Amino acid sequence: MAISATTDGSRHPLGYRIRKGLYGFLSFLLVVITTCLGLLAVTFFIGRVVPIDPVLAVLGDRAPASAIARVRAEMGLDLPLWQQFAIYVRQVLSGDLGTSILTTNPVLDDIRHVFPATLELATFGTIIGTSLGIPLGVLAAVKRNSLTDQVVRLIGLAGYSIPIFWLALLGLLLFYARLGWVAYPGRIDVVYEYTFTPITGLLLVDAIIQRQWDIAWDVFRHIVLPGTLLGYFSLAYISRMTRSFMLNELGQEYVVAARAKGLTEQRIIWGHALRNAAVPLVTVIALSYASLLEGSVLTETVFAWPGLGSYITNSLQNADMNAVLGGTLVIGAVFIALNLVSDLLYRTLDPRTRTR
């Protein structure tokens, strides 16, 4: 019988490994299904709890009672709640998120149109937050309780404490109105808006792919300020967690052993301690990315950024609940997907978790 070695030195039959792998996959699948059903249930009951009548939002307050009753029956709102939920789940699984009252388009089509703007902005911010937050966190941990550590911690505290909309308004006043270093609010200059044909919906990437460098520079001047502000918010979280993880790793016995063997401090910090700290950092970065995707509403509003946050805000102000719930569902799905991806990466980077 085929056998294989485990991390603790014991050996198990191949059938045992197959059964264990199948059990792990089924458990993982059950968690995904349960989480998705929970997300659907939350969005469904939000639509029922919010004091906005979808029928009146369609017909208006002065519609006759007969028309209200007819539309209510057509929308299935006269059915028992469990039947309404079953219909809602079936529609969502078929890709039908309803029709937007505000745009008269299918909500899914609207989201396909606006989501790339939010994705591009959040990705820009995450790149900045990760590329600066990790080195700052490492530096703070290495120089613990020094002036450098205090400065890094103060930067992180300010990122947590200062409202992002206040920073956005201040940034516009300084860098746009006074200095003229960045472009006005929006995603692209009106000169290029109707002449540039996007490929992926990520305008900066599309302009670079098509080698239209004047458009790429214009898009960069629009995204650099809101993206940097979101990057600062991400930096505050990532640098703080990096510092915590690195302090834990630098106190481990393998670091003492590495120093006793004569390894350079740079190699110990960047080649050993940070490598082990990178495992939990994957989850931190994924959560930070997800928070930027769903938490950029105020930034998009201040900078007139035509993304998902602005779409949900405008829909909520106009009692367009189909659009609000559709956007909420997409954000929840993104959160679930990023958590699953981070969990898979965690298991890939840390072989010890595969045996649990």
pLDDT for residue 1 is more than 50 = no
Domain ranges, ordered by start, for the chain = 14-93, 107-355
Do 108 and 333 touch, CB atoms closer than 8 A? no
CA separation for the pair 86, 90 (Å, rounded): 6
pLDDT for residue 354 is more than 60 = no
Share of residues in the chain with pLDDT > 70 (%): 87
pLDDT digits (tens, 9 = 90+) for 237-283: 999 999 999 998 888 888 888 888 888 888 888 888 888 888 888 88
pLDDT for residue 93 is more than 90 = no
In three-state secondary structure terms, 49 is: helix
Query: How many other C-beta atoms can be found within 10 angstroms of the C-beta atom of residue 78?
Result: 11
pLDDT for residue 47 is more than 50 = yes
Predicted pLDDT at 322: 80
20-29, 181-190, 214-223, 226-235: which has the minimum mean pLDDT? 20-29
Both structure tokens of 19: 């059964």
Predicted pLDDT at 39: 78
Q: What is the mean pLDDT of residues 315-319?
A: 78
pLDDT digits (tens, 9 = 90+) for 138-168: 999 998 889 989 999 999 888 888 888 888 8
Say what the alpha-carbon torsion angle 135, 141, 142, 148 is, to the nearest 10 degrees. Answer: 80
Predicted pLDDT at 227: 92
pLDDT for residue 345 is more than 80 = no
pLDDT for residue 307 is more than 50 = yes
Q: What is the mean pLDDT of residues 321-336?
A: 82
Radius of gyration of the chain (CA): 25
CA separation for the pair 264, 248 (Å, rounded): 19
4-8, 216-220, 226-230: which has the minimum mean pLDDT? 4-8
pLDDT digits (tens, 9 = 90+) for 191-213: 888 888 888 888 999 999 999 99
27-31, 111-115, 238-242: which has the minimum mean pLDDT? 27-31
Predicted pLDDT at 7: 45
Comparison of pLDDT for 36 and 302, the residue scoring more: 302
Which position has the token pair 């369609």?
A: 58
pLDDT for residue 10 is more than 50 = no
Predicted pLDDT at 128: 94
Which position has the token pair 């991806």?
A: 341
Predicted pLDDT at 213: 92
Predicted pLDDT at 21: 67
Predicted pLDDT at 228: 93
What does pTM read for this prediction?
0.81
Which position has the token pair 């089924």?
A: 26
Single-letter residue type at 338: L
Q: What is the mean pLDDT of residues 226-241?
A: 92
Max mean pLDDT among 62-71, 127-136, 312-321, 330-339 falls in 127-136
Share of residues in the chain with pLDDT > 90 (%): 22
CA nearest neighbour of 173 among 185, 188, 161? 185
CA separation for the pair 326, 304 (Å, rounded): 21
Query: Is the domain defined by 107-355 classed in CATH 1.10.1740.10?
Result: no
Predicted pLDDT at 4: 46
Cα-Cα end-to-end distance for the chain = 24
- Which DSSP letter does residue 183 get? P
Do 268 and 255 touch, CB atoms closer than 8 A? yes
pLDDT for residue 235 is more than 80 = yes
Predicted pLDDT at 70: 80
60-69, 282-291, 299-308: which has the minimum mean pLDDT? 60-69
